[in-house]
Amino acid sequence: MHAFSMMSDGFFLSLSLCLDIGLVNVAMISLTLSHGFKPGFWLGLGSCVGDLIYAALALAGMAALLQFESVRWVVWIGGAAILLFLTWKMAREALFPAAAPAVAGEGATNAPHQSAWQGFLRGVLLAVSSPSAILWFAAVGGALIAKAGATSPKTALIFLGGFFLGGLCWTIFICGLGSHGRKRAGAGLLRACHVVSALLFAYFSYSVIVNGYQDLIVQATHVAS
């Protein structure tokens, strides 16, 4: 049961990152709408690996840093604040969506065909250079990974496995939906992503705030008394 909980935490954490419509998702949706499932899938798979690199680095670093109470306070307050901001941002995008990515035949640039390996590498580079991903793992990811409690090699592998699976499922879903919907999918798909993202960010905001309160305030009060 603990292993399942650990994997599901990684899975949903990955989904919450994927649902933030940043550089990678816009590129993946646009490529799928323009050129079909496979090019978008390989780019998305590369982005999963890029996100996994960041997740592993965050997991490795947080275990040592979180031994200090001051670091836990910074992670709690900073992570909760950014999660609340992202909740508001996604809710605003759902209410007032931006234009959908260009589709073939509607002003899109028909780039030359790339191999699967080129698409994969492009996805990795997009993920590791995405400002939203860097911000996420620097501030929010630390709080959520700390909450998961993946402190041993075994639990870390389970957590990261769930994290990668979440990104892979998202890639298959978004590319499959885009390849079947093509021109009709654009605006509605982006809006649905923003709605689900806002709900997921709200859930994680609540989770981080409550867990931080219990860890840093309630337990400290019990110890003092």
Q: Is 50 exceeded by the pLDDT of residue 49?
A: yes
Residue 221 tokens read as 């009060």
Is pLDDT at 110 greater than 50 in this prediction?
no
Spatial CB neighbours of 213, under 8 Å, sequence gap ≥ 6 = none
Would the pLDDT of 83 be above 80?
no
Which of these, 89, 201, 195, 193, lies nearest to 144 by C-alpha position?
201
Structural domain count of the chain? 1
Q: Mean of the per-residue pLDDT values for the chain?
A: 75
User: Does 180 score more than 60 pLDDT?
Assistant: yes
Helix axes 153-181, 186-213, angle to 10 degrees: 160
Show contacts of 207-211: CB within 8 Å, 24+ apart.
207/144, 207/147, 208/76, 208/79, 208/80, 208/83, 208/143, 208/144, 208/147, 209/76, 209/80, 211/147
The CA distance from 100 to 174, in Å, is 14
Does the structure show a pLDDT above 70 at 75? yes
What is the pTM assigned to this prediction? 0.64
- What is the pLDDT at residue 106? 42
Q: What domain range is 195 assigned to?
A: 2-224
Q: Are 120 and 180 in contact (CB under 8 A)?
A: no
pLDDT score for 101: 47
* Predicted pLDDT at 107: 43
Q: Which of 171, 198, 186 is nearest to 50 (CA)?
A: 171
Residue 160 has pLDDT above 70, yes or no: yes
Q: pLDDT grade, residue 109 (50/70/90)?
A: very low
Nearest to 142 by CA among 85, 215, 217, 72: 72
